[in-house]
Amino acid sequence: MTVPEQVNTIVLHHSATSNVAGELALSLGAPVFTVHTKRFPDGTANVRLPTEVRGKNVILVADTRPDSAIIKLLLLQAALQRGGAARIDTVIPYYAYARQDRRACKEGQPVAAEVFAQLIGQTTNRVVVVEPHNQSFMGCFGESAVSASPIREIAEHLESFGVGFVLAPDEGALPRAKEVAEILGVPFDHLDKKRVSPTEVRIVPKELKVQGLRVAVLDDMISGGDTTAAAITELKRQGADRVVAACVHGLFLGDALDKLRVAGCNRVVATNTVAVVPYGKVSCVPAIVRALQEGQK
């Protein structure tokens, strides 16, 4: 997706987000600059803008992991304000604290998703988050915050695989599975799971009409791989022909990819928000551009 050249817009990024930032800058017809950070002798962050920003509309493509990346993000936003940027749009391809929302936090724990969202939202005009885990904390980024969904692009990729059925590995993933299935014009369903331990998931038995079909298991992220692997095992047990594991955020922590392979996964597809090469096959940039344009209406 391309748009007319943005003569007064620049794109800044951390090195960890260079792939997304470079493609976004190309789509917008804007120059792109890398922010290099150092550390003072006492270990604190030393951040400096790489170019003049006065009067510019700045799109800051930001990483949020590890924790130190959020400190750099906050300092960069403050530097942009001090430098006279006309507008700041903070784009977060992967919001690392999204799973620490109110539903997940136990007594004595902070709602980290909201804590950091509030901090980030204070020094930027708008925040764009690619496929947040849920929408419950988005308002903490500010009233103008918006999510960017690359589900359309994932559906287009799955169509080339000949997917005839879309499965959500749990109820929380059902809305995304439904959206992809409707784009493809195929049936969909979801499974119910019971987490036995941090590394073990059991699927509640359920009949699925997948005999001989190519099936996509779709979730917003694949982290440890246990939930997706359990779903794949169930699909293979019920006669699915080939199975593709698809997600927006491909974290693939530890032996996650091995778990998917052992379960019978035939292909892994993720976007390029964090995905390990070569699994980041789908670009999240068109979704980001749509979100940025939507906010200008």
Active site residues: 193
Q: Is 251 helix (H, G, I), strand (E, B) or coil?
A: coil
Residue written as token pair 């493809």? 184
Q: Cα-flanking dihedrals φ and ψ of residue 262, to 5°? A: -60, -35
151 vs 79, 96, 156, 158, 219, CA distance in Å? 34, 19, 9, 10, 10
Residue written as token pair 């936090």? 105
Name the nearest CA neighbour of 18 among 78, 81, 58, 62: 62
| Distance (Å, whole) CA 35 – CA 38 | 10
| Distance (Å, whole) CA 168 – CA 188 | 8
| Distance (Å, whole) CA 24 – CA 291 | 12
| Distance (Å, whole) CA 172 – CA 219 | 9
Is 165 in contact with 213 (CB distance < 8 Å)? yes
185 vs 151, 164, 165, 179, 242, CA distance in Å? 14, 8, 9, 10, 18
| Distance (Å, whole) CA 105 – CA 1 | 39
